[in-house]
Amino acid sequence: MPTVLARAPGRVEFIGNHTDYNGGAVLGAAIDRYVWAAAAPNPAGRWRLFSVGGAAVLELPSDPGTKYSGTDSWANYPLGVWRSLRDFSLPQPPGFDLLVDSNLPPGAGLSSSAALELAVALALVSLAGKTDLPPAQLAALGRHAENHHVGVPCGILDQGTCAFGRAGHLVHIDCRGPVFSHVPFPADAHLWIFNTREKHALIDGLYAQRHEECLAAAKTLGVARLTDLTPAQLRAGEGKLPPVLAKRARHIVEEQARVQETVTALQRRDLAVVGRLLTASHRSSQHLFENSTPALDRLVDLLEKHPAVFGARLTGGGFGGAAMALTRDRFTEADAVQIERCCAANHDRAPEMLHLQTADGATRIGLQAGGMD
């Protein structure tokens, strides 16, 4: 019987595509789709891991020290969290039973991995007797697990947004600190997600390749981070870069500027400007960072033309996943279905649509009779 239950939200990358690991600023939204982790001590000191919808219980005598592949690859995330507890000098439960459930679509760019990491971290430290884990430490722990034990060189956007989420707000992260703050999200604006069902597997190499390209561009330009440059400074120096690195650098530097412009526009409640910035972000991802796909581009093309849509862009690491639309009240499910049908006419499958609300961040919650809700 579980003794601990924790929940962590997914997140939408509102704007700031690949700026986080470049030391820039990002805006994210924690969303009302979650990963739950229920845990109990295992008296025999063994580990038993099970994901609802998974094939079978994964039972281990101790930390195997290796990575899993195939249908068991999800276990790398809780195992990475357990190892990271030691790295952060936090208590580790010697043995545990762990049950994971989720209503987040995996591989859609909504950060199911970060939500899994944070929910498992809260559950495991609770089993070990620690009841307080500040959001900043929780975010750092989750990122460490993904960077060092899973193998994705992500920044702090995903884990930071999942940890610091607040209903009715976006999470602003200055990744140089990192420093976390909140930006009010207008009550009359709506977030719609259109999941292409093209699973983006960031560990497969394209994400890491973009990371390396950004580092190489910064080194050539003589700065520690591309976000240390203004657009004018980049224009003055980009002739030193090979064409591909020049495109990557331009995306990051201009995206950094778009994040700040978006914050200012949100503070003015100027959603028309916010929408234009979101769509400009997608076009930069499409043409300069080249982490979009034809299915994502088609979605943004359709959404951009809809009169009830302020703007749209891919959300998350790219190379598949989902597009996000910022809409007016009058954008309805019928409108979303029409977008789906138009996409299905050009691709082999219709996207999955989600109408999302902003939500609070990761937390421990009470156990309820009849399971998790």
Beta-ladder partners of 49: 58, 98
DSSP helix/strand/coil, 175: coil
Rounded CA-CA distance 262/282 in Å is: 14
Residue 296 DSSP SS3: helix
CA 303 to each of CA 33, 92, 216, 283, 292: distance values in angstroms, whole numbers, following the listed order: 23, 47, 35, 13, 16
Radius of gyration of the chain from its Cα atoms, rounded to whole angstroms: 20
- CA distance linking residue 123 with residue 281, whole number of Å: 37
Residue with tokens 């979009």: 292
Catalytic residue among 158, 204, 228, 270: 158
Pairing of strands 96-102, 47-51: parallel
Residue 301 is among the residues annotated as catalytic for this protein? no
Asked if residues 54 and 71 have their Cβ atoms less than 8 Å apart, the reply is yes
The C-alpha atoms of residue 161 and residue 92 are separated, in whole angstroms, by 25
Kindly list the distances between the CA atom of residue 138 and the CA atoms of 149, 190, 337, 367, in Å, as whole numbers in the listed order: 16, 28, 38, 21
User: How is 225-276 classified by DSSP, letter by letter?
Assistant: -GGGS-HHHHHHHGGGS-HHHHHHHHHHHHHHHHHHHHHHHHHTT-HHHHHH
For the chain, give the number of residues: 373
174, 364 Cβ separation under 8 angstroms: no
Residues belonging to the active site = 158
